[in-house]
Every structure is written in structure tokens, then in C-alpha cells.
Amino acid sequence: VVLETAAPVETVTAPSSVKISNPERIIDPDSGITKGALADHYAAVAAIMLPWVGSRPISLVRCPQGRAKKCFFQKHDAGSFGDAVKHVGIMEKDGHEEPYLYIDTPDGLLTCVQMGTIEFHGWGARIEDVEKADRLVFDLDPDEGLDFEAVRKAAFHFREILQSIGLKTFPMVTGGKGIHVIAPLVPRAEWPEVKSFAHRLAQAVAQSDPDNFTAALPKAQRKGRIFVDYLRNQHGATAVMPYSVRARSGAPVAAPISWKEMETIDTPAHWRVGDAKELVKRAASKALAGWGRADQTLPDL
């Protein structure tokens, strides 16, 4: 992936007072990447990551003993994070409020890392109004055995369809198997409307190209196809955040890319822990200027 750089950038490591214990602990046995290297990654990308992950409810994938041991998905504070990891009360379906987590500083990010976090996932809404979506995401999940070429084609298909109804989209490789096609939204529509829109669009795509797509939940119907995971677009659902490391072999990183780069990228796990400098430089490149930003609302469907 060749880039034009708009302006020279330095890798600025975010100032953080968080002390990382056991920095030599290996968190990915396949690559030998340590907790210290993980913390260095997050300190280096804090300035480009916080505009996204900051001020939205988050869930964490924590693997205190590394990704080869027990990991867990954490939505609520167990009371151990301290002040840099903040709370937002969210009303649950049954009418009672639950405290969710959010961060908005490098210290918040690094505190989570200190507590064994590898992955950061975020809601599609900001803490100011968690009922209104500020993005749509189509999480394209290939069935086992499908090659990346098929996912790439699928992403361009979604780009075209969303463009035809007036929505500008931005792609992200997840660091795993797939691609997220993201349409930023001015936070206006509430979750029921947003979910319904995403569901109907996913169904329409699956109906018009049933050989390649399915929006059906049963695994059996996904055979040889790409599952359009529209369920990221509902109250409480999360998607992996840009520049999050993944708790997968090689410690890959979820990375925003341009549609032009999408034509030639080789794998959704192209960047890894250790590539922070390149990721920061890319973020200031012409190719990624304005990534994820568009003033737009849900069209009629």
C-alpha cells in the first residue's frame, strides 16, 4: 500500500502517568509480543484513536494472562479501574440503569491496557445521547474457506449500494477475517429505526445476490457466503474500534483504510503491534484525510 503523505508527522507518544506492571509478560505467544509493546502501541496511537473510541460506551476484551489464556468481554466496571476510566449510566430494557465504561484520555486508554485489555470495542453512539446512532456499520463476515478477495468485492458492493442512496462510507480492515463498511451519521435517528434500516438493507442485498450474501442468522445458511452482520446496529451492540489490537495470532490491528487502498490490500490483518509509527503516519496522509467524517442522515429505504 503506497501512500501520499500530506504533511510530515512525528510519532508522538501520548503522555500518560499510568504505570504498566509486568511489561515483559507475553500476551501473544505466536509473535512474542509483550504487554509493554501493547502499551507502547496504545500510547503511540492514542491521539488518532481517541477521536473514535473517546466518549462512547465501550466494551473491553481483557486477557490478563495473555490471549492464549482466559479472555473475557467486559461491559461494566468491576470497580477496579480507577478514575481515568469513566462511567455513563445507560437505561436497560427493564428500566433500570447500568453503569457502562468510557474513556476520553490517554490515561483512560492506558489504564485499560494495564488491566489486561487487548481489544477496545465501542457503541455506535456517543455518551451525550446513547439512543442516537452516530454511525452505521456493515460487518462483513466471510464463511470459513472464503478468500479475502470475496470480502473485498463484497465491501465494494456495499459501498456502491450505500452511495446510491446517498451515504458516504469508509472501510476498515478488522485485523481479523473481514471488513467493516462504516457510514458516519449525524446523531438523529434512534436505534429501532437504525436497526430496521440496516436489517432491510442487508436483506435486500442478500435477496439480490443470494449466492454471495446472507443476512440469515443460522450458521448453516452462511455456507460459502458472506454473512452481513447488521446486528452491530442496535442498542448495546459494539464493533471493534479503529486502531484496536486484536487478541488473535500475531497481534493484528484494526485499521482504517481508503477505498483506493482497498483495491490492493492483501489481508485484513495487514498491520500489527509494532506498526504504530506507520499507522500514525498513515492517519495524516491524503489517503485517509476525512476518514469516517460525513454530515449525513439515514435516507428513506
Interface residue list for ligand ATP (CB under 6 A): 73, 121, 139, 141, 174, 176-178, 229, 238-240, 268
Nearest distance from C-beta of residue 15 to ligand ATP, angstroms: 29
State the minimum distance, in angstroms, from the CB of residue 139 to ligand ATP: 5
- Long-range residue pairs from 206-213, CB within 8 A, at least 24 positions apart, any chain: 209/157, 212/150, 212/153, 212/154, 213/154
| Nearest residue (CB) to ligand ATP, 272 versus 281 | 272
What is the spatial distance between Cα 136 and Cα 75, in angstroms, rounded to a whole number?
Answer: 21
**Shortest approach of Mn ion to residue 273 CB, angstroms?**
20
Interface with Mn ion: number of residues (CB under 5 A): 4
Report which secondary-structure segment, H or E, holds 140.
Answer: strand 135-142
* Cα–Cα distance measured from residue 201 to residue 167, given in angstroms and rounded to the nearest whole number: 12
239 interacts with, out of Mn ion, ligand ATP, none, CB within 5 to 8 A per kind: ligand ATP
CB of 119 to Mn ion, least distance (A): 13
Residue 108 or 171 with smaller CB distance to ligand ATP: 171
Interacting partner of 73 out of ligand ATP, Mn ion, none (Cβ under 5 to 8 A depending on kind) = ligand ATP
Question: Smallest gap, in angstroms, from Cβ of residue 249 to Mn ion?
Answer: 16
Continuous segment of H or E residues that includes residue 49: helix 35-53
Grouping H, G, I as helix, E, B as strand and the rest as coil, residue 149 is helix
Binding of Mn ion at residue 141 (CB under 5 A)?
yes
Largest Cα–Cα separation, the chain: 53
- Choosing from 107, 229, 261, 275, the residue that interacts with Mn ion (CB under 5 A) is 229
Cα–Cα distance list, 274 to 32, 137, 253, 278 (Å): 12, 27, 10, 9
CB of 83 to ligand ATP, least distance (A): 25
Cα distance between residue 90 and residue 81, in whole Å: 19
Single out the segment in contact with Mn ion by CB under 5 A; choices: 35-43, 47-55, 170-178, 182-190.
Answer: 170-178
Query: What secondary structure letter does DSSP report for 203?
Result: H
Q: By C-beta, is 109 or 215 nearer to Mn ion?
A: 215
Q: Which of 116, 122, 142, 178 binds Mn ion (CB under 5 A)?
A: 178
Establish if 139 lies at the interface with Mn ion (CB under 5 A). Answer: yes
Of residues 143, 145, 147, the one with CA closest to residue 220: 143
Q: Which helix (H) or strand (E) holds 37?
A: helix 35-53
- Residue span binding Mn ion (CB under 5 A) among the ranges 80-88, 103-111, 182-190, 222-230: 222-230
Please count the other Cβ atoms lying within 10 Å of the Cβ belonging to residue 58: 28
CB of 167 to ligand ATP, least distance (A): 20
Q: Which is nearer to Mn ion, 119 or 229 (CB)?
A: 229
Cβ-proximal residue to ligand ATP, closest one:
176
Q: 96 CB contacts (<8 Å, ≥6 apart)?
A: none
Residue 256 lies near Mn ion (rule: CB under 5 A)? no
Chain positions contacting Mn ion, by CB under 5 A: 139, 141, 178, 229
